[in-house]
Amino acid sequence: MPSPLKAVLSLALLLSLLSGCATFGRLGYETLPIWMMWRVQSYLDLEGEPKALARRHLDALHQWHQSTQLVPLLAMVRKARQQVEAGRYSATLFRETRESLGEGLEPVLDQAAPKIAEVALLLEASQIARMRREFDKDNEKLRRERLQGSATERAEARTKRYIERTEFFLGDLSTAQRQLIRERSSRWPPVEQHWYEQRLARQQELLALLERLRTERPAPQVASRLMRAHLNRYLQWREGSERDLGAAAMAAGDALMLELMNGITPRQKQHLLERLDDWISTLEKLASQRP
């Protein structure tokens, strides 16, 4: 879900490291404020003091993250490497790791909310309208890419995405492994439509919140609290059927990953260990630098 808020949340380093090699991860992290400012501008086209304020806040948030959040993330990656090397895999482990990553974003949201709210209080109606138009363009592109075609075609696209992500971690997959992914993913709950609808709902909530802040101009503390409550939506599924469907999809993914990990070849295990070693090295270097 590309948006100014998502750009801020992407300060979670693991997300940037997943994009490529360790060198890219290090350089990408160091230049995150520039990239995030570019994303903010693409949606809001800030000028004057709002633009300067957003830039200062992004720099400050990045410095805070590097000073306080990289060491815990490094410990998490080191622990993951130890478990991979020992061959200790379980669906519980995958779930707990995912939950730990979510918990690690909580302090980022605490830091980001007042900064986002302060900029939001300076927005004009034309800038909120621009964000709405940009959301519409993004959504149309995603609808064409993810929601077109029959259920079989969507399942095939889902399989392709899973294979690509798995090969990032394990290297080349065997024909049997690819077939296993195809068989399992074809039976997964069809979450794409629910994910898309949840995306739309969050966007509408954000636009409504920005409009409320623009018209009411509440005190900064009130605006920060409202923004923090909204940011929680990016960490959770909604209640009811959407939550159940999301939990079922993640459980199915964990079960497939466990089956794959229990059958990986020595070469694939080495590929994964080298990937984790690259991340550990990158995190060590970043954590040792003073912002």
The residues near 275 (Cβ < 8 Å, ≥ 6 apart) are: 168, 169
Distances (CA, A) of 217 to 16, 46, 53, 222: 35, 18, 17, 9
Residue 212 above 90 pLDDT?
yes
Q: What is the DSSP letter of 232?
A: G
What is the token pair recorded at 269?
Answer: 């295990």
The values of phi and psi at residue 35, to 5°, are -65, -40
Q: What is the pLDDT of residue 18?
A: 35
All structural domains of the chain with their residue ranges: 4-148+193-239+265-288
Q: What is the pLDDT of residue 25?
A: 57
**Burial of 156: CB neighbours in 10 Å, binned 0-12, 13-18, 19+:** middle
How does pLDDT run across 38-56, given as a tens digit for each residue?
Answer: 999 999 999 999 999 999 9
Residue 231 above 80 pLDDT?
yes
Q: What is the mean pLDDT of the chain?
A: 84
Q: What is the pLDDT of residue 239?
A: 55
Q: What is the pLDDT of residue 240?
A: 58
Residue 22 above 80 pLDDT?
no
Higher-pLDDT residue of 147, 95: 147
Q: What is the pLDDT of residue 152?
A: 83
For residues 54-68, give the mean pLDDT: 93
Q: What is the pLDDT of residue 238?
A: 56
Q: What is the pLDDT of residue 219?
A: 97
Q: What is the pLDDT of residue 9?
A: 40
What is the token pair recorded at 276?
Answer: 């984790």
The 10 Å Cβ neighbour count of residue 141 is: 11
The residues near 117 (Cβ < 8 Å, ≥ 6 apart) are: 213, 220, 223, 224, 226, 227
